[in-house]
Structure 1
Amino acid sequence: MATALSAPALSRPSGRAADALRTLSIEPGFARHAEGSCLIRMGGTEVLCTASVEGRVPGFLRGKGEGWVTAEYGMLPRATHTRGDREAARGRQSGRTQEIQRLIGRSLRAVTDRAAMGEMSVTIDCDVLNADGGTRCASVTGAWVALHLAFRHCMSKNIMKAVPLLDQVAAVSCGICDGVPVLDLDYAEDSKAGADANFVLTGKGGLVEVQGTAEGAPFSEAELLELLRLARHGTAQLFAAQRLAVGLPAGEPG
């Protein structure tokens, strides 16, 4: 088991301890027309996640008896400090947008029993209302809640007998700021971090995806393991918030 690194004291812009998440809230049922939805807030980052159910699958899955879960991601023009162009106006999505929405889709499919869905599709739209770092991580975490609620809606309509989720999935950012590994970077930290990483983890401890980059000097294996330790500590709290949002007992995985 990895042990915590000995590090100098750090004064974070938010005043948080190195292993503290930002203020977190998940408001389920935020979008009245979607089969499943939530508004997730992590500090100054706010993402609206909506799940839409369709009774068909992409062509490559027709006749195979499996369902499909996918995602789309976008940011409102003034989600950031300066106005960004709408991607629809430019006529194409940025590479960043495509990469993030593929990450969200992969993360959800990793914990979904698609054979138990039958031939139906669920699309999760993750729209960033306000961005202050960690938008992809908040999107993954909120998307799971929206997906769970959409499946619960399908059960209420007798479309399926049980929620076809094998586990929870959530994501959190970690980084090295002023030589100290820290959890859940806000924009002020992310913009100057010596290294930053995004961890997508399951409730049972599995790794779905790890994205880590040194922005300056390389970081060590010991530092990577410390970032993973912080990520596990943070996602444990995210999993608890997800369960609360969908009405699951504490400790129940999915």
Structure 2
Amino acid sequence: MARENRSNDAPRPIEVSTAVIPEIQSSVQYRCGGTTILCIATLEEGTPKWMTPGQGWATADYQMMPYSVTPRLERVNKSTPDGRAIEIRRLVGRALRAGLDLSLMPGYTIRVDCDVLHADGGTRTASINATTVALGLLVEQHLASGIFATDPRRALILAMSAGVYQNSLRVDLDYQEDSGASLDLNLIGTATGEVVEVVGGCENGPVAMEVLQEVIEAARGGIAQVGKQLSDRIAPIRP
């Protein structure tokens, strides 16, 4: 058994609260185990100057709050860039755009902010899953308002970590498992098994391709389970 009395192939239970910022319907608090993310999706008029006319854009930000871990983190500012946060922000942004048809939201930018309130492993994957919940709320809001004539989503993107810890294959690694894993990765895809991105590596030397494939398949199974847990929390794509 893995920690928290869950089997090695079981993700942590998920708790989702919505409209946690009263003025913002598409604000989400996403909790899986000891990891908690505040995720807010908003819509802005305008797109970056380099964008092709007639297209929309989507981007994400990510940061960890000072007391999300112990000891306290220093607040990040423009003079002290956080390389890890930049890498994760780009990852979440790519996942966000993978699920959108940007031609269906011309002249608008979707912006997602992910703030880690408490970290116990899996903040990347939790941020992506929270983004998909918040995005669904935002789209529903602006379909109702008439800003979106058509649902711009083309897929519901989810994510899951998996790895080898103490010679056992596990999904949804907590901090202890993640920090001690000999191989770990994050898989981004859909609940039906399609893949968007795989990010990971080995800590203790190379492994056989068969082992990597087993870890990827475990993560795919984890994504399917997360899809079931969130089935009543993610607004379905409107035809």
* Structure 1 residues not aligned, in runs of 5+: 1-10
Counterpart for residue 101 of structure 2 = 113
What RMSD in Å do the two structures reach over aligned CA positions?
1.8
Counterpart for residue 11 of structure 2 = 21
Deviation at 1:247, TM superposition (A): 4.5
* Structure 2 residues not aligned, in runs of 5+: none
Deviation at 1:13, TM superposition (A): 3.4
Q: Secondary structure at the match of 1:246?
A: coil
1: CA distance, partners of 2:229 / 2:168: 27
Instruction: Confirm whether residue 75 of structure 1 aligns to residue 64 of structure 2.
Output: yes
Instruction: Tell me if structure 2 keeps the 8 A contact 1:13–1:188.
Output: no
Deviation at 1:217, TM superposition (A): 2.7
Counterpart for residue 40 of structure 1 = 30
2: CA distance, partners of 1:68 / 1:242: 25
Counterpart for residue 45 of structure 2 = 55
* Alignment counterpart, residue 210 of structure 1, candidates 195, 198, 203: 198
2: CA distance, partners of 1:228 / 1:82: 33
Instruction: Tell me if structure 1 keeps the 8 A contact 2:25–2:138.
Output: yes
Instruction: Confirm whether residue 143 of structure 1 aligns to residue 131 of structure 2.
Output: yes
Counterpart for residue 8 of structure 1 = none
Q: Secondary structure at the match of 1:243?
A: coil
Over the matched positions of the two proteins, sequence identity in percent amounts to: 35
Count of equivalent residues: 239
Q: Secondary structure at the match of 1:245?
A: coil
Paired AA for residue 78 in structure 1: Y
* Alignment counterpart, residue 226 of structure 1, candidates 185, 194, 214: 214
Counterpart for residue 134 of structure 1 = 122
Q: Secondary structure at the match of 2:110?
A: strand
Instruction: Tell me if structure 2 keeps the 8 A contact 1:137–1:171.
Output: yes
Q: Secondary structure at the match of 2:233?
A: helix
Deviation at 1:160, TM superposition (A): 1.1
